[in-house]
Structure 1
Amino acid sequence: MGEGSAIGIVAPDGVPEIRPGDDLAALLLPLLDLRDGDILIVTSKIVSKAEGRVRDGDRDSALAEETDRLVARRGPTSIVRTRLGLTMAAAGIDASNVEAGRIVLLPLDPDASARRLREAVLTRTGRVVGVIVTDTAGRAWREGQTDIAVGAAGVRVAEPYGGRVDAYGNELAVTLPAVADEIAGAAELAQHKLGARPVAVLRGRADLVLPADDHGPGAAALVRPEAGDLFGYGAREAVLRALEGRAGDDRGFGAVATPEEIAEGLARLAHHGVEVLASPGTAPGTAPGTVPGAPEEGRLAVRGPREVLEAVAFAHRWRVTRDGDDPPGILRLHPASP
């Protein structure tokens, strides 16, 4: 074989059962042969056990406190955005690899957990390593699950390729490999789900490991902000949330839409009697159907069934109002306050 790039992953046997209050570093280090530049991967399960995030009960009993927002529900399965910003089934609450009748919750702050473990390794061995805390998650559009990074310290969690040029001279505009997630998935291959190997070491990517005094942004940097989330609700939930229009639920629809975006959406509902009378860029009263004084800056003048307009506006993070000076049937749409 010719020269190339290679990585190696070792997942040792012999990790004991972890109990609340256990010193993870003390238990794991005798099993590991760490070098500077290695990346230590540990499952969130053993981190949570050591931190006392184990309790009696079932998933449903803890789901509400771990949930920030319901994304979708199908039968007994709930996909939620957790308090950590992760979108996961049952908020990542696990009932496997734990005594019957008990559950394991995700660490309160997985990035902080990774930092503590990294510092303990440095103090006790002098080795500068990266640490990744993993958990299993499903993927939209794909069957099956894979491990992802829910916590990280001392490791680059993503590699920005924006602005680089490939071998054909094409500029890579938005390429951003989530290397921490890739490492988590690769480590899982060595650990095996039923292998009782909750720790692994990856060697061969020292370029991703940061200096000892730099823990990096953590895995939290990989969580997409709600304003940039195009899939904040499941298909059914999006329809119901828009029609309900409950305060706060519009977070799941992403950023506030531009006037052009909501005008385009409203134009598709002409069969419901929706008519955009004036939109940004339209001189007041010059186009058919426009009304004097419209548009105001960033606002629309519309006509149509109010319940339809309310739902469309809500899903675009806009609001419907009535101007007392307008003719009957005319409503105004404006962006919601940030």
Structure 2
Amino acid sequence: MNSFFTVTGLTTGIIRPNDPFTERIIDAAEVACNGFKDGDILVLAETAVATAEGNVVMLETITPSSRARELAQQYRMDPRIAEVVINESDSIVGGIPGFLLCMKEGTLLPNAGVDASNAPPGCVVPLPVDPNASALRIKDEISRKCQAKIGVVVADSRTHAMRLGCSGVAIGCAGITSVIDDRGRCDLFGRKLEVTKRAVADNISSAAELVMGEADECTPAAIIRGLGMPIGNQKGVDSIAAEECLFMGVFRKCQK
């Protein structure tokens, strides 16, 4: 990969349910950096993707269950949001005031990814139903309309254990490899690397977060240009089983 690349935010205005999201991204790219070029990697905020796909929940339509009310009281939450989180989760493993810690599709994350930030008034936005499929669909649409071979990453912002603040995490990916295996390469002193794998899609997501923002920027996308990653037909974000994860292994032992 190249040592010099650029990160350009794409300003689209507010994204609403069923908006022509890809067209808005293409128009924003024309303004920001003269459109898409071969090798570009497009990073998209998951909330914008989910909203455009219509995956928005109006809280007035939600009737909290008894469990949702119990969790809401325990963790000082809106019972309706607690109900949405329960429905989006595989399991609830704990929480802190305002958030439930959930397992969802093999990942430990707050509120199962349900987001009230940048959601329409009175609504919350769950994660896209299938982020990898969303990334692939948008990649194919842009590649066809713009005649450019690009990669697409759907990114979320997450907290990490014992760290203050959020950074980017890839939850959907198409056109690039999400993880590069460096095992077998040598370090500065000739020792072979045994466990090192680079979370490329996560690192790209974090770079994009710097220009996309988390508040009222109306910049739900960014183009990474000049990185030099091969563009192909790859799809999906690589992950590991819970029993192979250091943090999850310790967490589960503490629960016993």
CA offsets 1:213-272 (integer angstroms, 9 cap, x no match): x1x1412x1x3212313433886x855x53xxxxxxxxxxxxxxxxxxxxxxxxxxxxxx
Other structure's SS at 1:202 match: strand
Q: Which amino acid aligns with 1:191?
A: M
Aligned residues: 229
TM-score if structure 1 supplies the norm length?
A: 0.64
Aligned to 2:95: 73
Aligned to 1:26: 23
User: Contact (CA 8 Å) 2:86, 2:92: kept in 1 or not?
Assistant: no
Once residues 135 and 152 of structure 1 are traced to their aligned partners in structure 2, the CA distance between those partners, rounded to angstroms, is 12
Which one of the candidate residues 5, 8, 13 is aligned to 1:7?
5
Q: Which amino acid aligns with 1:88?
A: L
Aligned-residue RMSD, C-alpha: 1.9
Which one of the candidate residues 195, 216, 231 is aligned to 2:247?
231
Once residues 103 and 113 of structure 1 are traced to their aligned partners in structure 2, the CA distance between those partners, rounded to angstroms, is 19
Aligned to 1:193: 214
User: Contact (CA 8 Å) 1:71, 1:233: kept in 2 or not?
Assistant: no
Please say if 1:139 is aligned against 2:160: yes
Q: Which runs of 4+ in 1 moved over 4 A?
A: none
TM-score if structure 2 supplies the norm length?
A: 0.83
Other structure's SS at 1:9 match: strand
User: Contact (CA 8 Å) 1:111, 1:151: kept in 2 or not?
Assistant: yes
Aligned to 1:276: none
Once residues 94 and 167 of structure 2 are traced to their aligned partners in structure 1, the CA distance between those partners, rounded to angstroms, is 20
User: Contact (CA 8 Å) 2:10, 2:25: kept in 1 or not?
Assistant: no
Other structure's SS at 1:148 match: strand
Once residues 164 and 198 of structure 1 are traced to their aligned partners in structure 2, the CA distance between those partners, rounded to angstroms, is 36
Q: Which amino acid aligns with 1:193?
A: E
The 1:234/1:168 distance shift into structure 2, 3 A limit, reads: closer
The alpha carbon displacement at 1:98 in A equals 1.9
Structure 1 residues 196-207: aligned runs within 5 Å: 196-207=218-229
The alpha carbon displacement at 1:74 in A equals 3.0
Aligned to 2:62: none
Answer 1 or 2: which has greater helix percent: 2
The alpha carbon displacement at 1:147 in A equals 1.6
Once residues 249 and 55 of structure 2 are traced to their aligned partners in structure 1, the CA distance between those partners, rounded to angstroms, is 28
Other structure's SS at 1:171 match: coil
Q: Which has the larger radius of gyration?
A: 1
Aligned to 1:100: 121
CA offsets 1:149-196 (integer angstroms, 9 cap, x no match): 011000111111100012321111111010100010010111122222
Please say if 1:47 is aligned against 2:44: no
Please say if 1:17 is aligned against 2:14: yes
Aligned to 1:63: 85
CA offsets 1:289-328 (integer angstroms, 9 cap, x no match): xxxxxxxxxxxxxxxxxxxxxxxxxxxxxxxxxxxxxxxx
Other structure's SS at 1:200 match: strand
The alpha carbon displacement at 1:206 in A equals 2.5
Of the structure 1 ranges 128-137 and 165-174, higher mean CA displacement relative to structure 2 is found in 165-174
Aligned to 1:175: 196
Other structure's SS at 1:231 match: helix
Q: Report which structure shows greater RCO (CA 8 Å, sep ≥6).
A: 2
Once residues 152 and 106 of structure 2 are traced to their aligned partners in structure 1, the CA distance between those partners, rounded to angstroms, is 20
The 1:143/1:234 distance shift into structure 2, 3 A limit, reads: farther
The 1:193/1:74 distance shift into structure 2, 3 A limit, reads: closer
Where does structure 2 lack aligned partners over 5 or more consecutive residues?
30-34, 60-79
Once residues 108 and 183 of structure 1 are traced to their aligned partners in structure 2, the CA distance between those partners, rounded to angstroms, is 22
User: Contact (CA 8 Å) 1:71, 1:232: kept in 2 or not?
Assistant: no
The 1:234/1:54 distance shift into structure 2, 3 A limit, reads: farther
Q: Which amino acid aligns with 2:38?
A: D
Where does structure 1 lack aligned partners over 5 or more consecutive residues?
243-338
